[in-house]
């Protein structure tokens, strides 16, 4: 018996109470025998049906928890780590539930593929798109992006961050009026306070803040290896660019526009908390960035 029939039987029972002959009349309208009606009404829900109801409930929960920004693979990971789910869940089950609930990953529209850049031998691009690292604090990436706030989004601010390439964990952030060397020094000071006495490779683009003497003199005191993207090649810093994209599309754009600077700060901090502590990924073996990072430390 499908769910629609059971709901119909329950509805008939409810509306026919105290009304003589109502059951027979309603059953005749839907073309169901009295025997089938009472058998279906008193039928015990199977284990599979119980599991299916719970699976749909928890799938909807995790889909909403992640702001409707994850697909089947990451929903599977979330369900496999869900304490309420006591039975095995497969990707096929998740996709079936997605179809039945009519939920889809609402994520960024794919951009057109960039024209492949001709090979260039640039000595200071030490990272050279080698994004596979084995330990925390091996490579740090940094960049800044623009955020807006105000009643009509009339105010702009620069959001700078330091991202550990291992597990894509954001170590530190800074908000400033413009992208300056002082702002970038400050965000790296915070990153070193979090990570301690480490000596990572630091990769950035060639923005004026990152090429300034004060910024590079500060980094040299921490005995780091310096790496910079090639001109006009944003993919050289792709994991950082992707983090910004995810942060804006899966977090900022799904929140009300922050009206004040204080609202913006809270929203940014909550977003970092979400991505560091709750955003599971198959690339991290189903772990969050914090779990993945801590497992290796």
227: which strand partners?
Answer: 203
Residue 98's nearest CA partner among 60, 50, 65 is 60
Residue by residue, what is the 3-state secondary structure of the chain? Answer: CCHHHHHHHHHHHHHHCCCCCHHHHHHHHHCCCHHHHHHHHCCCCCHHHHHHHHHHHHHHHHHHHCCCCCCHHHHHHHHHCCCCCCCCCCHHHHHHHHHHHCCCCCCCCCCCCCCCCCCCCCCCCCCCCCCCCCCCCCEEEEEEEEEEECCCCCEEEEEEEEEECCCCEEEEEEEECCCCHHHHHHHHHHHHHHHCCCCCEEEECCCHHHHCHHHHHHHHCCCCEEEECCCCCHHHHHHHHHHHHHHHHHCHHHCCCCCCHHHHHHHHHHHHHHHHHCCCEHHHCCECHHHHHHHHC
| pLDDT reported for residue 141 | 97
Give the pLDDT mean for 250-267: 94
Does the pLDDT of residue 10 top 80, yes or no?
A: no
Judging by DSSP bridges, how do beta strands 169-176 and 201-204 pair with one another?
Answer: unpaired
30: which strand partners?
Answer: none
| pLDDT reported for residue 297 | 67
Does the pLDDT of residue 110 top 90, yes or no?
A: no
**Which tens digits make up the pLDDT trace of 24-67?**
776 776 677 767 766 766 666 678 878 888 999 999 998 888 88
| pLDDT reported for residue 117 | 36
Lowest mean pLDDT segment, chosen from 3-7, 160-164, 172-176, 239-243: 3-7
Give the pLDDT mean for 86-105: 88
**Extents of the domains making up the chain:** 3-41, 47-101, 139-296
Does the pLDDT of residue 77 top 70, yes or no?
A: yes
Q: Rounded to two decimals, what is the model's pTM?
A: 0.71
Sign of CA dihedral 252, 253, 255, 257: positive
Report residue 150's pLDDT band, with 50, 70 and 90 as the boundaries: very high
Sequence length of the chain is 297
164: which strand partners?
Answer: 140, 169
| pLDDT reported for residue 294 | 87
What is the CATH number assigned to the segment(s) 139-296?
3.30.420.10
| pLDDT reported for residue 123 | 40
226: which strand partners?
Answer: 202
**Which tens digits make up the pLDDT trace of 184-204?**
999 999 999 999 999 999 999
Report residue 287's pLDDT band, with 50, 70 and 90 as the boundaries: very high
| pLDDT reported for residue 295 | 87
Calculate the alpha carbon distances from 161 to 38, 166, 175, 269 in Å: 64, 15, 9, 12
| pLDDT reported for residue 37 | 64
Higher local confidence (pLDDT), 258 or 116? 258
What would the two tokens of residue 196 be? 């301690």
The owner of tokens 């530190």 is: 172
| pLDDT reported for residue 227 | 93
């Amino acid at each position: 018996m499908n769910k629609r029939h059971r709901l119909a039987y329950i509805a008939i029972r409810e509306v026919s109470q105290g009304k003589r002959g109502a059951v027979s009349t309603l059953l005749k309208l839907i073309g169901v025998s009295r025997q089938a009606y009472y058998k279906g009404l008193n039928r015990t829900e199977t284990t599979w049906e119980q599991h299916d109801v719970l699976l749909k409930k928890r799938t909807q929960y995790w889909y909403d928890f992640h702001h409707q920004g994850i697909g089947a693979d990451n929903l599977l990971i979330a369900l496999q780590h869900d304490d309420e789910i006591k039975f095995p869940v497969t990707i096929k089950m998740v996709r079936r539930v997605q179809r039945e609930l009519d939920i889809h990953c609402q994520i960024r529209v794919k951009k057109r593929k960039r024209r492949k850049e001709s090979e260039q031998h640039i000595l200071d691009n030490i990272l050279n798109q080698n994004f596979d690292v084995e330990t925390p604090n091996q490579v740090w990436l940094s960049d800044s992006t623009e955020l807006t706030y105000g009643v009509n989004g009339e105010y702009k601010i620069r959001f700078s961050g330091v991202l550990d390439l291992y597990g894509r964990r954001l170590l530190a952030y800074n908000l400033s009026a413009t992208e300056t060397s002082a702002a970038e020094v400050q965000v790296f000071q915070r990153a070193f306070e979090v990570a301690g006495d480490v000596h990572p490779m630091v990769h950035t683009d060639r923005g004026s803040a990152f090429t300034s003497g004060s910024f590079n003199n500060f980094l040299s005191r921490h005995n780091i290896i310096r790496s910079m993207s090639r001109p006009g090649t944003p993919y050289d810093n792709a994991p950082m660019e992707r983090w910004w994209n995810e942060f804006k599309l899966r977090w900022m754009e799904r929140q009300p526009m922050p009206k004040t600077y204080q609202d913006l700060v809270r929203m940014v901090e909550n977003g970092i908390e979400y991505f560091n502590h709750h955003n599971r990924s198959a690339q991290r073996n189903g772990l969050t960035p914090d779990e993945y990072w801590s497992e290796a430390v």
